Amino acid sequence: MLWKRLRLTLDMIKFEHSVFALPFALTGALLAFRDGGYASAEIGGKLAWIVVAMVGARSAAMTFNRLVDAPMDGRNPRTKMRQLPAGMLSRGFAWGFVAAAAALFFVAAGALNPLCLKLAPVALGIVFFYSFTKRFTAFSHLVLGFSLGIAPAAAWIAVRGALDPRILWLSAAVMFWTAGFDVIYSCQDFEFDRAEGLFSVPRALGIARALHAAQALHALMIVCLLALVYTLHLGALALAGVAAVVTLLLYEHSLVKADDLSRVNAAFFTMNGYVSVLFLIFWAADIFLLKPGA
């Protein structure tokens, strides 16, 4: 019975989609190791705890979001069969899962370094706060982006014990990337958001203009990545990774039209998974195969 409820919870929060932000966090950690000249012998352990922290924070945040949104989800034809509004999972169990995931996050943060532990409540507060923003601002997409964007900076802090402003280019890139694909995804709920009085870019601009806004956000992502390449003196493989991201994003936007949202899930889930994983592969190759400053 416990396993069934746990499985329902993991399905509810789309646990497999941890892949979205995790590769960017790992890239942030690898850049921090690179900047330190690979002096640390703890790289394996550090990366493992970063993964645990990311999984714990995302699991707590996603479950919290489902709890907060459950009444609205029950009224939305697209989401009414989610586990909480459909009654497949109790709110009590979900709250217990939030507490357990948050505790795991704090344990991981403490294992990384004292500054990570001090900042852990702030990080958790940010990702929890997102769940309320669609009720009062169309900038909720950027808040979600910021929630994921802090991951690379947090990973840098986990490795170096302090924040380097240069890594904020990667945080900004993740923020714009996430906000862009969230705008695309939220186009599905245009009519529902309007009926419920919820705030979103599609509701504010209309679907066609919202898709243009998503393109602009993704263009800003590319600008930030190029700035990071320049600032950290990365090489050709990192640039190739940026080119791969551009190609995938162009294809992602080609899948969705204002009058045809049938392929939103392919654009949102499949393509963004490819974006983050390929980005990590190219940048990790650059970090390990090319010398700093080359």
Q: 3-state SS string over 94-160?
A: HHHHHHHHHHHHHHHHHHHCHHHHHHHHHHHHHHHHHHHHCCCCCCHHHHHHHHHHHHHHHHHHHHH
Let me know how long the chain is: 294
Return the SS3 of 292. coil
Q: How many structural domains are present in the chain?
A: 1
- What pLDDT does residue 294 have? 43
Structure tokens at 157: 């802090």
Residue 23 lies in a domain: yes
Residue 87 lies in a domain: yes
> Average pLDDT of each block of 10 consecutive residues along the chain (294 residues)?
81 76 94 75 83 94 95 93 92 95 97 96 97 96 96 96 96 97 94 95 97 98 98 96 96 92 79 91 91 51
What is the span of the domain harbouring residue 267?
2-289
- What pLDDT does residue 40 have? 53
Return the SS3 of 25. helix
The CATH number covering residue 36 comes to: 1.10.357.140
Rounded CA-CA distance 52/26 in Å is 12
Backbone φ and ψ for 27, nearest 5 degrees, come out as: -65, -45
Residues in CB range of 113: below 8 A, 6 or more apart: 157, 158, 161
Residue 294 lies in a domain: no
